[in-house]
Structure 1
């Protein structure tokens, strides 16, 4: 019974923090959190929750999917690192009502709550307002909406791509 209660509190607190830190719609943090997975494991002492098997997590406009999703908490009980691993792992969220959904794909997607950054590694791809960024590693600053693409750590990349591939749409001019 303690496990279920702690897990529910952890999820509610953690995902509310995650969605508010992801600089998204203010209403996202007020939405219910939905987690679907084949299995779940919680380690209270280490502050780690692991979900396995076609994991789908949604809260408002936030959607994260992966084969395995791990949430690691810091000493204060807040989310420290949120890691989704899949073929591919997927992240999407609407940053504002006047913007398009940001989408990210990669074999590993990590969200670092303290820096509000997402790191996508191995077959990484981010689609933001029609622009596409591909590379071994992409760092997405969710607050400033800045994407940096480049090389990943050697030995950790399954599909080496020494060069980045970007498609940047022209700005629409007022007539």
Structure 2
């Protein structure tokens, strides 16, 4: 039970980087299998895993949460070719939620950076971006898209002015 309490207290550190409304929201974690390795500072959720806190929602076949000194440092969501990992969150100064899909989504909490790898697709408002890899800097509201390493996934984007 202490391990679960530790996990939920760690997830509360999202409050430092989330929207004000997300701060007070409870953390909800759902999965078919849960592995918590407190000494090594990570937990793994597999089987249609979902993590939500306020407007933040991550879903994937597997989600890993890494913590350092009882604070979450990063989250990795891994999908597969049939069902990509999914990220959604309201952002300040945005009319609509930011949404993303990729084979792997890594959310670096301290850096406020979301990195998408493999079939990356990102939607911000009415604009969309896709490529092999994509990085979204939440604080700077900056997007960098790149082709895949093998060159088969070129960068595409659509912007509504």
After TM superposition, the score normalised by the length of structure 1 is 0.84
In structure 2, what is the equivalent of residue 68 of structure 1? 62
Q: 2:75 aligns with which of 82, 88, 96?
A: 82
Q: How many residues align?
A: 158
C-alpha deviation, 1:16, in angstroms: 2.2
Q: How does 1:13-52 map to 2 (within 5 A)?
A: 13-21=9-17, 24-52=18-46
Pairing 1:1-175 to 2, within 5 Å after superposition? 4-10=1-7, 12-21=8-17, 24-74=18-68, 76-86=69-79, 87-96=83-92, 99-153=95-149, 160-161=152-153, 163-170=154-161
CA shift for structure 1 position 77: 2.1
Which whole-Å CA distance do the structure 2 matches of 1:97 and 1:145 have between them? Answer: 10
Gap regions ≥5 residues in structure 1:
171-175
1:153–1:72 Cα change, 3 Å? farther
Q: Higher Cα Rg: structure 1 or 2?
A: 1
Gaps of 5+ in 2: none
Query: Per-residue deviation at 1:33?
Result: 0.9
Cα RMSD (Å): 1.8
Instruction: Please report how far the alpha carbon of residue 5 of structure 1 lies from its aligned counterpart in structure 2 after TM superposition.
Output: 1.7
Q: CA distance change for structure 1 residues 113 and 165 in 2, over 3 Å: closer, same or farther?
A: same
**Cα displacement (A) at 1:153:** 4.7
CA distance in 2, matches of 1:50, 1:168: 37
TM-score (norm 2): 0.90
Write out per-residue CA displacement over residues 33-61 of structure 1, whole angstroms, 9 at most, x where no aligned residue: 11110010011111110000001111111
